[in-house]
Structure 1
């Protein structure tokens, strides 16, 4: 696998030198990236559930964190391209249907090696959308897939899209359904979907003089020129012979030996760092409007004096709390200097959080929430967002009904469920921790119904 990574880096260095690309001039393309395999499609018994696990990455997808596929492509004319893809993976999750039911279970077959070699033809719909950066496509073909020492041929089909970030480089994504014709219960290679994500480079064209005109169309391929003259140069026609012209390619007056001074500041353009704006010699011909010693073109605040350490701008304090943004851990929320610009969590805030926490309702004997609890959790989330650097401990407690072991597990799971909800809704996980105390820390008697209700609770503590 490490050799594939080295090959990928080498391709970036080599192909990155080619700065122009067009389909007709660059018929070849190579792609590298990662792939994921899921057989949820093949395990489904009803069409309505065929794509049920498509986006369940953690549950159903097999992914290795490395370059795990490579594709070489050749445009064969029009919108058609042929592809050859090789891929590897590690199968740690297989989705199977429980016999006699419509339920599924995910099992680990023992880290099986997955190898695939596929060929196909792809049709681009870029012309249909009228863009040069968004390229959806459809593809079909066949291949052969091995899972450990067992292999089978597949009939393939799928969809893809490439986002061209530059003329010759893009981000590619595609999903391919691989169909085998074996009985699903006895298949050596089950039907499955393989997803691909990677970087694609086009290449094959040649432009020696880098003037944007490919050699095959360039009448002067060794010297950069104009498109209107088929790539050949044009003298500046300023009335001064090129041999006597210090600027043979730019028209200028005899006063400056043929060199222009566009901004009229007495500094010829080739020596002027700001040839279109009058400036001063000490600044290389550039202006310094605010007089802070930083030329305007490098000054992010040319009208207001500021230190060079902040690119000529005064230090900002976005939240007006007296702590500069550069030193403020919470630049968008007013805080205190003692807390490095972040708001401090007061006892009133903690009381409000715990008032909400004690109203969280779980389904009986479970860590899942009742529907009426969701607004409570949302209100807690908003408070956590107001204190982006504060850390909190979520603690779960139960009454004394049931065994100590079950109560301990239930309290841990309920505290973890609250943390998971907050993380899924944008709160950083490193700000939260969860723990359970079971029935060991009652706040009321477990001998009454009301006391038990108080003991079944979630509490929030500030981590200092």
Structure 2
């Protein structure tokens, strides 16, 4: 159990390296001065005594005025790094085994000069940084555990090492390192001339991290740089923001023009919420549905395309209301007789009434043909012109012209004559401006008499042309 206190001290000091490498700067090199504690700590008989004179450098520490240690380490992951340290010193102060003063019955520690022994040590350790746990960028507490080999003059021995350290980082890569390491040699006799006793070694110096790669020289290491080939900004993980609008280029629909976040980085000159690249009217606030162009009258036709921008109208008529020239409540676009007042039921055209039909047939009864022929008598032309005038008032109406004869003569001849006379009337009307598609003609010979063929007056009534409305 005589090594119990030493093991307690070892466990308490088990610990940390002062180098805080990371996945970017995997390598670190440190150098400075070391001090070998003349074993006051390791020679003490109690925990209290072990630490009561821990910093008594004047009586127990051995220091040489030069760079006396070098450390090289490499980050291996998860805050751990592996390092090796070489150090040199001169031992002129050392505590040999304690003695008991018989007069006071207390422990006495005899500090001797073993002869300015040359001290060499080569140590390897595993180090762990707590810097990420305390979330600091400056203060870096650390712990280490490992082993090494130490020479006291001609004596040498392997040691089991554990220690604590603290580094203050002036910059990301340069820091001041402070460290204390307990080296346990498992030697029972404390005679530096013949063996290597357990002792403390302290280190103070500068440490430099290096090894990170920054291809685009933007200050962001390649391992953390989403765009390692292009210089960028830290807030965008190394990716650029060419137009400096706070939106990285990869998410910016307009990377060369400063814009708004809500428009994916594109500008909106007229402030209508439509990006200029999608706005057909970038200088005037408009509607999204109309490509960013205004519509003053709200008819769905942009002002620049609206021939009547202050009056609502359909798109088919360039934003203007449809006219109704004849005022019959049927728009010209739907009015088959746009210049003649008609009825809605007849698509804007006037309807042929019974009175009109009676008038037409009154005229038709007075159409006279030369005897046995389909040619008109001279006085009939005025009647035909009157019929033409009436038909022009109903340009969408269609009519059937029927020819009839009396019973004189042969039936076939009468039928043929009736057809020719009805056709003659049709041809006249067409030649005088009536659309032929509106007219049909038919002859019925003597088959449809309206009076007796036994009298001269009856035969005259049966020789006729009738006009009928086709519905």
User: Into which bin does the TM-score normalised by the smaller protein fall?
Assistant: 0.3 to 0.5
Q: Considering Cα pairs closer than 8 Å and 6+ residues apart, tell me whether 1 or 2 has the greater RCO.
A: 2
Question: Which TM-score applies when normalising by structure 2?
Answer: 0.43
Instruction: Please say which structure displays the higher CA radius of gyration.
Output: 2
